[in-house]
A and B are shown apart, each in its own frame.
Chain A
Amino acid sequence: MAAQTHQDSTLRGARPSIFSYFRDIRVIQVVLQIVFIILLVSILSFVFINVYNSLADRNLVPTFRFLTTRGGIPISDSPAWYTPDESYGEAFFVGVINTIRAVSVGLVGATVIGILVGILLLSNNWLIRNISRIYVEILRNTPLLVQLYFWYFVVFLEALPKDPTGLPAPGVTSISWSVPIMFLLIVAITLLARRTNFPTRMTVGGLLGLIVMAAVRPALLDNPTTEGIVTIGMLLLIGIFLLISFFAPKDWRGLATGFLAMTVGTILGAGLFQLFEYFGVVADGQALNLSVYPVFYYSVKGIFAPEIIPTAVFGTWAVFVAIGVALAIVLWMLAGHVTETTGKPVPRGTYAILSIVIFSVIGWGIAGAQARPTTIPIEGDEGTVELVPYDEALESGDILFEDWPLYRTEPVIIATPELNRFNNLEIGFVLQPQYSALVLGLIVYTSAFIAEIVRAGIQAVPYGQIEAARALGLSTSDTLLRVILPQALRVIIPPLGNQYLNLSKNSSLAAAVAFADTYQVGTTMMNQSGQSITGFTMLLIVYLTLSLLISVVMNIVNGRFQIVTR
């Protein structure tokens, strides 16, 4: 049959001939590819030979040899070992480290803020929803470069004080009796609320009351000049609150109960202690007097934060922590298995946390009990070296800060920043304004895009899914974790990966705020050495590697959330 049709002379179409071979679509494709490759290779070799010859004429043949020569590139934000005397290669390496520092913190920060704002964009509250909307619209509709300039020149160089300012401000802070009273009240309200029909509303009412009382308390008790203003503010708040509770449906009375319990309770309690003080039952109107030391300093030189320094016994402690973490993982999986086989819910999170905490505490004690040198060699006045007891040396200030960690019993010390006479940071961790501006700029800018992605992702889950979960009796957290998130993430992850790539590439705008990242160091290196081809190749490799790394990770994550359909 088939053969017959084939030979049918009435069949229309091309006749076989010598040329029909070249009309075969398979042959055409192969020939076209060969032609394309030949063209490409000739163009590239032409360009390459020309560039090579012209560079050779000027003695600038691309090489990596210059990387080991002295670079003379000053980098303010660099590890302690780095000086301008280091080689080009080391300078470039510092640049890469700086890029990684900025990108990694930027990715985490942008994700956290992005998710938060994304959820707020869906809030039922008109005000919250619209404030987040404005945040997103302003940030994603202005150029990143403009925003970086704003953060760097306006915020970090103009708005911050010239001299380091401590946070919290040093001095003595008094805590009045109303603070513990308010604390006890909110605990009591929360516990009581769980026994009523409106636990959330009553707790929220209590929290509202807490805010009002905490804002009003200092003015009423301490400062007579602001008393009036704050009282009016408080009355306004109560008024607004009463309006809400009056016009809202009747089950909102839980809110009123919580609020009134909090405010009236605090006023009565504080009044009681005033009486006690009057009759001399308590000595002072204050519950507690605290000396406050600054934990942070901020100035145009940057933000000074406490530094976490591992000591000589850190290793021992780390081993214990590692054991705790390993045990936590085992417990977690075991608990999962138990739940699966018996159906009994096991508080696996609590067990895991307990395991880590217990081992950390035990390890802390054991590490501290380890033998350590009790004396320390100190250079005397005549150049002699004598052994001085450690405690004495510490008191007399003979120990250099760098030696410190060697003699401490704690595995890690958290050193609060200290300033020297010139207001420079002596101890502590510094976030330089260039770095801060870049990272903050990247985080804030990218978070706006991520927020939109998160919002769209959550909205992409049909409401019917949530209703089905509810109708089955699933709890809110199971609904979120098992039903909404897996489906939302499927929509969120691909565009999120794009934003991560954008952030990592946008980090090369660091030059705008004078931060020595890969791009900035790389271009300086190219200008000084003239090795632009090598330099560009290195830049290309760094950014390509970074992007590929992010892509690979995101692809793996994405693969886990795909939904099988027909």
Chain B
Amino acid sequence: MAVEAVDTKKKADRFDEPIIVVEKINKWFGDFHVLRDVSLSIAPQEVVVIIGPSGSGKSTFIRCINRLEEHQEGLIQVDGIELSHDVRNVAEIRRETGMVFQQFNLFPHMTVQDNVTLAPMKVRHWSKDQAEKKAMELLNRVGIPEQAKKYPGQLSGGQQQRVAIARALAMEPNIMLFDEPTSALDPEMIKEVLDVMKELALSGMTMIVVTHEMGFAREVADRIIFMDHGRIVEQGPPEHFFDPNVEHHPRTQEFLDQIL
């Protein structure tokens, strides 16, 4: 059923141990079967882009990885830790994974700097000095060091999303999850956020990105996954997806025709 590409995982052969293992997970919202037997394993430093039509379960899937949603069947392992009901495991996995949301979800009552330092101080028990140093370093990295003392409401959308990326990176995660990070942005701001993400990918971060930005997928992704109706329908490297001569699964073809 699923069309598997021949040449996957450029980097995978360099690392034998996958950092994320998902085995046959199933999830229901009431009677609605959102995720159906989804299996996936991701190598360290791999950049995986998930595409698919609206409602296909992309968000639900990546939210299962850090337990913002609970899967009902199957196994999820992140960095060697099994995602079980043990609250310590959940906390451990959340420390190891950063997440960036479509709506930024910055804390509006805190300055940019406080947004970035809160979690390292509270969760990693860093000193204020150490956390602030890290925050400035990250704000520099995402290109907005001068906004540290401002409040999120005073920033543009693109700047807010870059703060959100800095906030997630402050916890020094091994894995970053992005759920449509540019969908709420005006076109002129999309590039500044994508540039930060590209830089992050080049630096060797393991990333799972849900996005409709095909340019980004083509350029940065090691692997693209097409989801539909809660299933992984097709996966492969960008060359496979964007090669007009390859025969795709009909659902994939339909989707690609719409967006390309």
B129 touches A341 (CB 8 A): yes
The reply to whether A482 and B68 form a contact with Cβ atoms under 8 Å apart is: no
Residues from chain A with Cβ under 8 Å of B154 in the complex: 564-566
Choose among B103, B105, B119 the residue that contacts A473 (Cβ–Cβ < 8 A): B119
> How far is it, in angstroms, between the C-alpha of A341 and the C-alpha of B99 when the chains are bound?
28
B168 within 8 A of A: yes
Residues in chain B near residue A3, CB distance under 8 A: none
CB-based contact B118/A197 at 8 Å: no
The residues of B that contact A342 with a CB separation of less than 8 Å are 127
Looking at A343, A345, A490, the one whose CB has the most chain B CB atoms below 10 A away is: A343
- Note all chain A residues with C-beta closer than 8 A to B167: 472
The digit string for A442-462, where 1 denotes a CB below 8 A from any CB of B, is 000000000000000000001
Is B130 a contact partner of A471 (Cβ separation < 8 A)?
no
Instruction: Tell me whether A70 is interfacial, beta carbon within 8 Å.
Output: no
Query: A343, B105: Cβ atoms under 8 Å?
Result: no
Q: Is the CB of A343 within 8 A of B103?
A: no
Q: Is B204 an interface residue (CB 8 A)?
A: no
Distance between A322 CB and nearest chain B CB, rounded to angstroms: 32
Q: Is the CB of B122 within 8 A of A474?
A: yes
Complex interface bits, B32-74 against A, C-beta within 8 A gives 1, otherwise 0:
0000000000000000000000000000000000111000100
Who on chain A is nearest to B88 by CB? A197
Given contacts A472-B119, A483-B107, A487-B108, contact A563 B85 (CB under 8 A): no
Using Cβ atoms and an 8 Å threshold, which residues of chain B touch A12?
A: none
Q: Is B14 an interface residue (CB 8 A)?
A: no
Contact in complex: B151, A565 (CB < 8 Å): yes
The answer, yes or no, to whether B91 is at the interface (CB within 8 Å) is yes
Q: In angstroms, how far is the closest chain B Cβ from the Cβ of A156?
A: 45
Partner of B153, one of A249, A251, A565: A565
Q: A465-B105, A468-B101, A472-B94 in contact; A197/B84 too (CB < 8 A)?
A: yes
CA distance A77 to B143 in the complex (A): 69
**B 107-157 contacts with A by CB, 8 A:** 107-109, 118-119, 121-131, 151, 153-154
A440 to chain B, nearest CB (A): 36
Check B127–A467 contact: CB distance below 8 A.
Answer: no
Task: Give 1 or 0 for each of B159-180: 1 = CB within 8 Å of chain A CB.
Answer: 0000000011001000000000
> A382 at interface (Cβ–Cβ under 8 A)?
no
For residue A65, CB closer than 8 A to chain B, the reply is no
Cβ contact within 8 Å between B118 and A482 = yes
A486 to B109, CA, bound (A): 7
Q: Select A198's contact among B68, B85, B126, beta carbons within 8 Å.
A: B85
Contact A471 B98 (CB under 8 A): yes
Interface string of A199-210 (1 = CB under 8 A from B): 100000000000
B85 touches A472 (CB 8 A): no
The residue of chain B having its C-beta at the shortest distance from the C-beta of A478 within the complex is: B122
Assembled-state Cα–Cα distance A566/B64 (Å):
35
Instruction: Closest A residue to B95 by CB, please name it.
Output: A473
List, in ascending order, chain A residues with CB within 8 A of B107's CB: 465, 468-469, 482-483, 487
Q: For the complex, what is the distance from the CA of A180 to the CA of B124, rounded to whole Å? A: 41
Mark contacts of A523-566 with chain B using CB atoms, 8 A cut-off: 1 yes-contact digit, 0 otherwise: 00000000000000000000000000000000000000101111
**CB within 8 Å of B: which residues of A?**
197-199, 249, 251, 340-345, 462, 464-465, 467-475, 478, 482-483, 486-487, 490, 561, 563-566
Apart from A251-B85, A472-B119: 8 A-B pairs, beta carbons within 8 A: A197-B84, A197-B86, A467-B68, A473-B95, A478-B123, A564-B151, A565-B154, A566-B153
